[in-house]
Amino acid sequence: MASSLPAAVSGGDLASSLEAIGETTPLVQHLTNTVTMNDVANLTLHWDALPVMADSPGDAGEMAAGAAALLFNTGQVPEGKVEAMHDAGSTAADRDIPIVLDPVGVGATPTRKSVAEALLEELEFSIIKGNYGEISALAGVEAEVRGVESVGEYDEIEDAAQSLADATGATVVASGVEDVVANADEAARITAGHERLSEVVGTGCMLGATLATFRGALEDPVTAAVHGTLAFGIAGERAAELDHNGPESYRTNFHDTVAGLTPETVSELDLEDRIERVA
């Protein structure tokens, strides 16, 4: 059973989660899009987990049997990949393996919405992560998603995230300028990250991979969602402090920073005021 949302997280708490990843080296299976596949695989490795990208029918279900967590990313939805998601999801359900859903582009086209809705109808997800527009669209709230980007204002995103959590039983992460983590009863805002993250294609996909990695090592989905989101944002901030000439060198810095984000480097961090309970 998932825990309540924490009122605060210490550097020691975050260090414990990173230690759990390093000690268990979870195998994280990604069924994701080809645009960001390499970044997703590398970031998973940088978190000290093992990535595998088995995403074809048959092989996906077989590989899922040995995974610690699965990530379903709907950035591309060819028929074979959707079939593979259902295949792997069936194996995960039989073996109680947690699945993270990243409903990329939901709200932009009817096809993507129907794919996500079919997955939600058939499978249970431990964490659902999307931008403000995607989470709102899945929750049945008016949203504008252009391509894969959230457009417009979402003043009631906490309510939408809680509604989706209540309907699905998942912990919901809505990513934006401030990230929102919600369950059916509570919501909190996490202040971490840097504007440079929005200038690099695929950082949303990499956040999904981060959450799947943390979930693969941690029993509690709320802890995985909060700690994974916070660690990702802190890495984004630290990457911006390093010398870089633009988005591409920042992207390299970000990968290097994640690789260097060890339990020792985060244990003494002052994370006070990073989390605000809002509902």
From residue 155, give the alpha-carbon distance in Å to each of 24, 152, 195. 39, 10, 20
Q: How confident is the model at residue 109, as a pLDDT?
A: 85
Contact yes or no for 119/101 (Cβ under 8 A): yes
The ranges assigned to domains in the chain are 11-277
Q: Binding site: what residues are annotated? A: 53, 129, 175, 202
- The Cα-based distances of 128 to 99, 140, 162, 185 in angstroms read 9, 15, 11, 16
| Cα gap 144→226, rounded to integer Å | 26
228 φ, ψ (degrees, to nearest 5): -65, -45
Task: Give pLDDT, residue 243.
Answer: 92
Considering the chain, what is the average pLDDT of its residues?
Answer: 92
Residue 279: predicted pLDDT: 67
State the pairing for strand pair 69-73/50-52: unpaired
Pairing between β-strand 69-73 and β-strand 171-175 as defined by DSSP bridges: unpaired
Exposure pattern of 44-83 as b/e (b: 16+ CB <10 Å)?
A: bbbbbbbbbbbbebeebbebbeebbbbbbbbbbbeeebbe
The reply to whether the predicted model has a pTM over 0.75 is: yes
Binding-site entries for substrate: 53, 202
Q: What is the pLDDT of residues 165-214, one digit of tens each?
A: 999 999 999 998 899 999 999 999 999 999 999 999 999 999 999 999 99
Does position 142 have pLDDT exceeding 70, yes or no? no
Q: Tell me: pLDDT of 154 over 70.
A: no
Distance CA 262, CA 179 (A): 22
> Residue 2 in 3-state DSSP?
coil
- CA angle at residue 55 from 37 to 161, to 5 degrees? 70
Q: What's the confidence (pLDDT) of residue 48?
A: 98
What kind of architecture, by CATH, is found in domain 11-277?
Answer: 3-Layer(aba) Sandwich (3.40)
Residues annotated in a binding site for ATP: 129, 175
| Measured distance CA(68)–CA(95) in Å, rounded | 10
Report the C-alpha gap between 49 and 64 in whole angstroms.
Answer: 15
∠ at Cα 166 (161, 167), nearest 5°? 100
User: How many angstroms separate the CA atoms of 233 and 19, rounded?
Assistant: 18
